[in-house]
A and B are shown apart, each in its own frame.
Chain A
Amino acid sequence: MEKQNKALALLKIVLLTVIAAAFLFPIAVVFINSFKYKFDISNSPFTLPLGEAFAGMENYINGITATGFPDALLRSLFVTVFSVAAILFFTSMTAWYIVRVKGLFNKIFYYLLVFSMIVPFQMVMFTMSKTANLLGLDNPVGLVIIYLGFGAGLSTFMFCGFIKSIPLSIEEAATIDGCSPLQTFFLVVLPLLKPTAITVAILDTMWIWNDYLLPYLTVGHDYKTVPIAVQYLKGGYGSVDMGAMMAVLVLSIIPVVVFYLVCQKYIIKGVAAGAVKG
């Protein structure tokens, strides 16, 4: 019996290791191919970059110059960080007000925000991008404002859910002690919102960093973000430089993996918590 259990446990580990290898395999193949000439990538993608096939850093140089990758990376970073910050800042304030102050407007506004969560982007992509052009929002700062508009639904919804569970007495004590509503919010309420804020930040970071269509339709090729830079390599009808493509794919994956390994604890928790609430 004991032996059988041990054998089963070993079998499980072996099986899981094989699956894990299968999960890592595609990324490894892309990485290996980023050091091969495009001819060898297309004709023998599963061989190592040895001898004649080894392209050195050529693909990276081509990919970076063709897409302006460093700029795209910085731009993605800018848009993601400031959008998430704006969403957290403005929607946490809104959520607190909506929960604490009763009124018809607040109720309607709340339901409209929840409603926006179920509307697919295709429904508004044309009119939204025209509006963005009209209002001069077709630049990275504009993107931050647009993401606030689209991210407000989920974020306010999640903050509202959490705020409802905070006992009113804490805030009333602060008011009696002479706190203005702004002081009460920033000194008393906001620190309590931290767990929800982390969940919202994780979900929105994953969304905004990887978002392709929204920035493509609003800022296009003038201000490429990382996903736009990758898709840009495919271009119109010409053939793709597979070497440059592999290099750019690797460069796009690296920041994500670093972010993941650093914030892994929060990401896993945030995803689990976000799913339960969303």
Chain B
Amino acid sequence: MQGKLLRKYFPVFVLPTAIVFAVIFLVPFITGTYLSFTNFTTVNDSVFVGLSNYKYVFTSPQFLYSFIFTLLFTVFSVISINVLAFALALALTGKSRGTNVFRTIFFMPNLIGGIVLGYIWQLIINGVLLKYGYSITSDPKFGFFGLLLLMNWQMIGYMMIIYIAGIQNVPTEILEAARVDGASYFTTLKKIILPSVMPSITICLFLTITNSFKLFDQNLALTSGAPAGKTQMLALDIYETFYGRMGYEGVGQAKAVVFFLVVAVISLLQLYITGKKEHEA
């Protein structure tokens, strides 16, 4: 009964969102996909060129370099962030004094925007390297580890909060029973805590993977790819292809499609794994 009454209200409830969504996201997505098969400088002057943009993308040394750089960065940052965040979560679960103050401090960097974070760490890292006569752009390694440090600083608190929520869901009776049975801390951790926080681990892994893989603002502010594109991650490479010089918009759009497909595969994998976990539970 209610559904029938409501049906007439489609223009009020759905239409505004649908129109804005179509104009702002859907149409640009479709035209973007089409433009990746064309050469263009504005949307109106596109000439169909088949797969030639994609051929260019997969033979572009900068794109392949950025891809590997991004993958490597993602692996390092996912592992370091999750290990450190989980350790802090273990230390900060429970009611001991000062717990809240620590949580507050560790989470705070997450709220600061990527551009601001980039310049904060540029100052710190350049300050340290100054003593040895270097700057962050003198070697790609500095940029790589600078980004890693920045990303850890930003994301550890966020992941810690999710891990704490997971650890708090472990039933206290089970922990109590383990304690009475004389289980060591590490046995409890391995046999009880870790298995029951698996859902949190999955969430955190995917959040850190996608955030690291799609990193842009921090990259732009910290090194903007210097020296010579050697710290340029994928998102920044796409941006530079579009706006860095004229005539490569089609290639930029093709890079963006490839980038989208990789991100989509990661997201579908996440959906599949979390879906499977929920069925098991």
Q: Which residues of A contact B (CB under 8 A)?
A: 9, 12-13, 15-16, 19-20, 23-27, 29-30, 33, 41-43, 45-46, 90-91, 93-94, 96-98, 100-102, 106, 109, 112-113, 116-120, 122-128, 130-132, 135, 145-146, 148-150, 152-153, 156, 168, 171-172, 175, 180-182, 184-185, 206, 209-213, 226-227, 230-231, 234, 242, 245-246, 249, 252-253, 256-257, 259-260, 264, 267-268, 271-272, 275-276
Contact B107 A127 (CB under 8 A): no
Residues from chain A with Cβ under 8 Å of B127 in the complex: 29, 45-46
Contact B256 A122 (CB under 8 A): yes
Whole-angstrom distance between the alpha carbons of A66 and B104 in the complex? 33
Query: Could you name 26 residue pairs across A and B whose Cβ atoms are closer than 8 Å?
Result: A15-B91, A16-B91, A23-B105, A26-B124, A27-B120, A29-B127, A41-B123, A45-B126, A97-B13, A109-B14, A112-B21, A113-B21, A120-B235, A120-B256, A122-B238, A124-B25, A124-B29, A126-B256, A130-B42, A135-B23, A148-B20, A227-B115, A227-B217, A230-B221, A267-B107, A276-B165
Contact B252 A126 (CB under 8 A): yes
Whole-angstrom distance between the alpha carbons of A256 and B109 in the complex? 10
A94 CB, min distance to chain B CBs, angstroms: 4
Verify if B112 is at the interface (C-beta below 8 Å from A). yes
Verify if B220 is at the interface (C-beta below 8 Å from A). yes
Contact B17 A212 (CB under 8 A): no
Contact A175 B2 (CB under 8 A): yes
Residues from chain A with Cβ under 8 Å of B130 in the complex: 43, 45
B49 CB, min distance to chain A CBs, angstroms: 17
Residues from chain A with Cβ under 8 Å of B101 in the complex: 20
Contact A252 B116 (CB under 8 A): yes
Residues from chain A with Cβ under 8 Å of B109 in the complex: 23
Contact B20 A127 (CB under 8 A): no
- CB-CB under 8 A for A275 and B162, given A23-B153, A213-B217, A252-B116: yes
Residues from chain A with Cβ under 8 Å of B114 in the complex: 210, 212, 227
Chain B 73-117 interface 0/1 with A at a Cβ cutoff of 8 Å (1 = within): 000000000000000100110001110011111111111111110
Residues from chain A with Cβ under 8 Å of B28 in the complex: 124, 127-128, 131
Contact B111 A259 (CB under 8 A): yes
Binding site secondary structure of chain B: helix
Contact B259 A90 (CB under 8 A): no
Chain B 238-281 interface 0/1 with A at a Cβ cutoff of 8 Å (1 = within): 11001000000100110011011001100110000000000000
B37 CB, min distance to chain A CBs, angstroms: 14
Residues from chain B with Cβ under 8 Å of A116 in the complex: 21, 25-26, 29
Contact B123 A33 (CB under 8 A): yes
Verify if B133 is at the interface (C-beta below 8 Å from A). no
Whole-angstrom distance between the alpha carbons of A172 and B268 in the complex? 37
Residues from chain A with Cβ under 8 Å of B6 in the complex: 97, 100-101, 181
| CB nearest neighbor in B for A217 | B243
- CB-CB under 8 A for A131 and B120, given A122-B259, A272-B161: no
Verify if B198 is at the interface (C-beta below 8 Å from A). no
Contact A118 B96 (CB under 8 A): no
Verify if B3 is at the interface (C-beta below 8 Å from A). yes
Closest 10 CB pairs of A and B: A149-B24, A210-B113, A45-B127, A127-B28, A97-B13, A118-B267, A128-B28, A123-B260, A272-B165, A94-B17
Contact B158 A271 (CB under 8 A): yes
A2 CB, min distance to chain B CBs, angstroms: 16
| CB nearest neighbor in B for A76 | B113
Verify if B10 is at the interface (C-beta below 8 Å from A). yes
Residues from chain A with Cβ under 8 Å of B264 in the complex: 118-119
A80 CB, min distance to chain B CBs, angstroms: 12
Interface centre among A117, A123, A210, A211 (most CB of B within 10 A): A123
Residues from chain A with Cβ under 8 Å of B267 in the complex: 117-118
Contact B120 A26 (CB under 8 A): yes
- CB-CB under 8 A for A149 and B21, given A93-B13, A259-B111, A272-B162: yes
Residues from chain A with Cβ under 8 Å of B2 in the complex: 100, 168, 171-172, 175, 181, 184
Whole-angstrom distance between the alpha carbons of A19 and B85 in the complex? 12
Whole-angstrom distance between the alpha carbons of A130 and B158 in the complex? 35
Verify if B203 is at the interface (C-beta below 8 Å from A). yes
The contact of A100 among B3, B113, B257, by CB within 8 Å, is B3
Verify if B64 is at the interface (C-beta below 8 Å from A). no
Whole-angstrom distance between the alpha carbons of A43 and B102 in the complex? 33
Residues from chain A with Cβ under 8 Å of B221 in the complex: 230-231, 234
Whole-angstrom distance between the alpha carbons of A94 and B217 in the complex? 32
Within 8 A of A (CB), among B166-192: none
B223 CB, min distance to chain A CBs, angstroms: 12
Contact A181 B5 (CB under 8 A): yes
B258 CB, min distance to chain A CBs, angstroms: 10
Contact A268 B116 (CB under 8 A): no
Contact A245 B153 (CB under 8 A): no
A221 CB, min distance to chain B CBs, angstroms: 14
